[in-house]
Amino acid sequence: METIWCSVLMFLLLIIRKNGLCQNFAESVNTRYDVESNEPQFITKGHLYRAVVGDTIVLPCKVKNLGSYILLWRRSAAVLTAANFMVTRDVRLTMVDGFNLQISSVKISDAGDYVCQIGGQEPKDQIHTLEILVPPTIRTIPDHGLVSAKQGSTVHLECKTSGNPVPMIHWFRKHSSMPLGEGALLTLEQVGRQHAGTYQCKAENGVRDAVYGEIILKVLSPPDITVEKAWVHAAEGCDVELICTLHSDANSDLIWYQNSFMLEPTDRRSIFTKGNKNFLRIQHFNKNDFGNYSCVADNSLGRTKKYIEVSGRPGPTVFLSTQYSNHLDRYNLTFKIESLSELDEIKLLYRKLMMNETYQKPGKWDELILYPSVLRYDSRHFVMSYIIRQLEHNSVYEVMVQAKNRYGWNEVSDIHQFHTRNYGYRFEDNDLGISSISLSSKAINIEPLTSRHFLLIFGILLHVIIKA
């Protein structure tokens, strides 16, 4: 058996040698290797590219050993180029620097996969993905940007935006950098007049500049009236001007009344407006013009009324003296009172406070009646001074003043508190006063004013003006 197998093997070797099969096999292996080494290959690699709308982008495709192979660009099933020929009719697409695909003025619709393909029995693909970046745009809801809401209600301000990446929205008041919120909606609860104004929604996504939308919020409410002075001093023969300022986001009309009678313009009385200020001007004031005035405004949401009293009585007392006396037993009280008419009488009340660190009890009021002479601070005010004597040292006192002219008494002043000094201690020399009033009995009369008094008065008035 072994002899038979050896004979067969020798026969096969002779045939292989005679026909050169080993040589043909080797040549076949070498040929296949040369073909594979000369096939086309991509030099570039697939990549994700980003471009902003309107820009130009180049998608590279470089191949070595292309030889007689055909290179083409396609998008999905659509062929864009074949070799050096443009198949697509889109003029924005061109071939640059060989087989690189250039897209000009890119659009949102250009986003997607682009395939550079080497044709053959087994095609080879290189894929580029194109992402289109879109700057943010913004739109207010409603488009006209005007929102009205009733006072006390809840308001939703809305802005819609688009872009790629999706933009972020931030809210601000116009001319303010303080953020109010994020997102498409800004909610305001219990809105009042302070919420009215212009709001801005800001959209940004990192692509070019941020964009803004504006919404104007109007808060509808009953009229709001403010008066510059609720009490106006006047005298017969003078001119008087009353002012009411009207705040309203709905149509409102303001009407003037004296007591319960509606006022109309006359030869002495004029009614006019400047902006949101409403004026009532009365010339040559007479005794019938004194009284209570009101300005009334209404709209569909309600009515508002504010009052102004016009009186000839003296105005409030303003104290000019400091709180500290440089004396042990007296205090120089100086005060100012508004009155166009001459002052007839002044009532002065003062008392001591019994007090320590834990206890304070007011004493009994002492009352003095003063009959002042005419001493003008300016055309509308009097300055008066009185030295309160027989006080106790190192003590705290309270004083009030009330004045009367031909039209009556004014309101009692607020309490003014002062201190007398202690032994061995002296306050700064801040006493102000006009020493033209002296005590004779329960009723006080004014001493005749000498040239020395007038010099003192002038100096004190100058000091008061400088202090003011």
Instruction: Indicate the pLDDT class of residue 457, thresholds 50, 70 and 90.
Output: low
pLDDT of residue 61: 95
Domain 224-311 sits in CATH at 2.60.40.10
CA 336 to each of CA 57, 377, 432: distance values in angstroms, whole numbers, following the listed order:
83, 8, 12
Give the residue from 291, 267, 457 showing the smallest Cα distance to 372.
457
The pLDDT of residue 339 is above 50: yes
Domain parsing of the chain, residue ranges? 41-134, 142-220, 224-311, 317-467
Each as own residue / partner, the long-range contacts of residues 269-274 (CB below 8 Å, 24 or more positions apart, any chain) are: none
Cα separation, 30 vs 32, whole angstroms: 6
What does CATH list as the number for 41-134? 2.60.40.10
Look at 73 and 19; give whichever has higher pLDDT.
Answer: 73
| β-bridge partners, 400 | 349
Domain covering 317-467, topology? Immunoglobulin-like (2.60.40)
The region that residue 19 occupies, defined by phi over 0 for left and psi between -120 and 50 for alpha, beta otherwise, is alpha
Which of the two residues, 422 and 10, has the higher pLDDT score? 422
CB contact at 8 A, 53 and 205: no
pLDDT of residue 39: 87
pLDDT, tens digit (0-9, with 9 covering 90-100), for 12-33: 433 434 444 434 433 443 444 4
Q: What is the mean pLDDT of residues 36-56?
A: 90
pLDDT of residue 427: 56
Q: What is the pLDDT of residues 352-406, one digit of tens each?
A: 998 877 778 888 999 999 987 657 778 889 998 999 999 999 999 999 999 999 9
Question: pLDDT band for position 316 (50/70/90)?
Answer: very high
**pLDDT score of 468 more than 70:** no
Structure tokens at 55: 């820009």
Q: Which CATH architecture has domain 142-220?
A: Sandwich (2.60)
Over residues 263-273, mean pLDDT: 95
For the chain, the average pLDDT equals 84
User: How high is the pLDDT of residue 461?
Assistant: 54
Token pair recorded at residue 305? 């009324």
pLDDT at 5 over 50: no
**pLDDT (mean) for 56-72:** 94
